[in-house]
Amino acid sequence: MASAEAATVTNKQIIFPDYVRGFPKESNFKLTTTTIDLQLPEGSTSVLVKNLYLSCDPYMRICMGKPEPLSSSLVPPYETGVPIVGLGVSKVIDSGHPDYKKGDLLWGLVGWEEYSVITLTLYSHFKIHHTDVPLSYYTGLLGMPGMTAYAGFYEVCSPKKGETVFVSAASGAVGQLVGQFAKLMGCYVVGSAGSKEKKKFGFNDAFNYKEEKDLSAALKRCFPEGIDIYFENVGGKMLDAVLINMKLHGRVAVCGMISQYNLEDPEGVHNLPTILYKRIQIQGFGVCDFYDKYPKFLDFVLPHIREGRITYVEDIAEGFESGPSCLLGLFEGKNVGNQLFVVARE
């Protein structure tokens, strides 16, 4: 319902000027300020929100590339000249939609701007019912990355107690959770990440891939008997090294390949005959195919959080303007934990 206390306010936005080739730069983002009426027009079925937390996720680089049918099967490419679209936690200011009223909290796809008018479609947005946990978690642990880790590990990897699990990008929004889920199941877990301070996260072991001359040797050191499950977030050379360290009937869940997104041509991976020799399964997946399980995921994960069995590391930047540098940092492996930035606290 439209409210009587409408007002026009300024609305800062981060615009996506044009498609990106190679590594994205600060110039691929354009800060602008416009205005927005804080009241929806009569008869609207949209929801007007104030964005509180906005999330930086690796998949966003795929959306920044020139639209082409391959990658578009996973994520829609960005439109140029309008704000970047990402996941965020937002508060409802006005609503023409029967499921939402002023003051409700939600998470889902919003523009990189202070206020967004959103159109609800299936699984585009989820109402937030549990606020005894940090609200920012809905950009990570309790949002898309959490659901990705949950579906990817339990549904795609077919894990069993006692198996060996390797997670790359292990300090990222998804990787740190996969490792913890695997630990909860009684697996032996090793993670790789891009800096020393990222070590452990409660895993059995970890290594900094930037310090290893020979990734395969690092994996052999961590897994002398081989790897049952590889949760793939990076692709390229790491995948090549993992393949020859897989055990018979090993499984690879392909969640992301962040090392490849900025390359004009993806790197060649050589050890694919191992798929045959070790009878390995490689499964690409997208969280979009699993959102029907989101309520089940919350039932599973909330007690673990409340009782301290799962922790979550966030890399929180302050201020709307920090968005671009946060996103760029992902591709240099700068973040420790889920990368987000605060637009407003309430």
When asked if residue 274 is in the footprint of a second copy (CB under 8 A), the reply is: yes
120 vs 269, which CB is nearer to a second copy?
Answer: 269
Contacting a second copy (CB under 8 A), which of 5, 42, 132, 265? 265
Whether the CB-CB separation of 326 and 84 falls below 8 Å is answered with no
Using CB under 8 A as the binding rule, whether residue 133 contacts a second copy is answered as: no
Determine if 291 is a binding residue for a second copy (CB under 8 A). no
Q: How far is CA 35 from the centre of its chain?
A: 30
Q: What is d(CA 117, CA 132) in angstroms, rounded to the nearest whole number? A: 27
275 near a second copy, judged by CB under 8 A: yes
Q: Which of 248, 295, 311, 319 binds a second copy (CB under 8 A)?
A: 248
Is residue 169 a contact partner of residue 183, using CB atoms and an 8 Å limit?
no
Q: Which residues contact 235 (CB under 8 A, 6 or more apart)?
A: 254, 256, 257, 258, 259, 260, 266, 267, 269
Cβ proximity to a second copy, 29 vs 290, nearer residue: 290
Least distance (Å) from a second copy to the CB of residue 268?
2
Considering the rule CB under 8 A, would residue 158 count as an interface residue with a second copy? Answer: no
* Residue 286 near a second copy by CB under 8 A: yes
Q: How near is the Cβ of 155 to a second copy at its closest, in Å?
A: 12
* Residue 284 lies near a second copy (rule: CB under 8 A): yes
Element (H, E) at 166: strand 164-167
Tell me how far CA of residue 259 lies from CA of 108, 238, 339, in angstroms. 26, 9, 17
CA 211 to chain centroid: 25
At 61, the amino acid letter reads R
Q: Which stretch binds a second copy (CB under 8 A): 27-35, 126-134, 187-195, 262-270?
A: 262-270
Given a contact cutoff of 8 angstroms between Cβ atoms, the answer to whether 209 and 193 are in contact is yes
| Region near a second copy per CB under 8 A, out of 42-50, 78-86, 278-286, 310-318 | 278-286
- State yes or no: residue 342 binds a second copy (CB under 8 A): no
73 sits near a second copy (criterion: CB under 8 A): yes
Residue 69 to residues 63, 73, 285, Cα–Cα distance (Å)? 12, 6, 17
Footprint on residues 19-38 left by a second copy (CB under 8 A): none
Nearest to 95 by CA among 59, 120, 122, 58: 120
Residues in binding contact with a second copy, number by CB under 8 A: 39
Residue closer to a second copy, measured from CB, 108 or 235: 235
Residues of this chain that bind a second copy (CB under 8 A): 62, 70-74, 235, 239, 244, 248, 254-257, 260-261, 265-286, 289
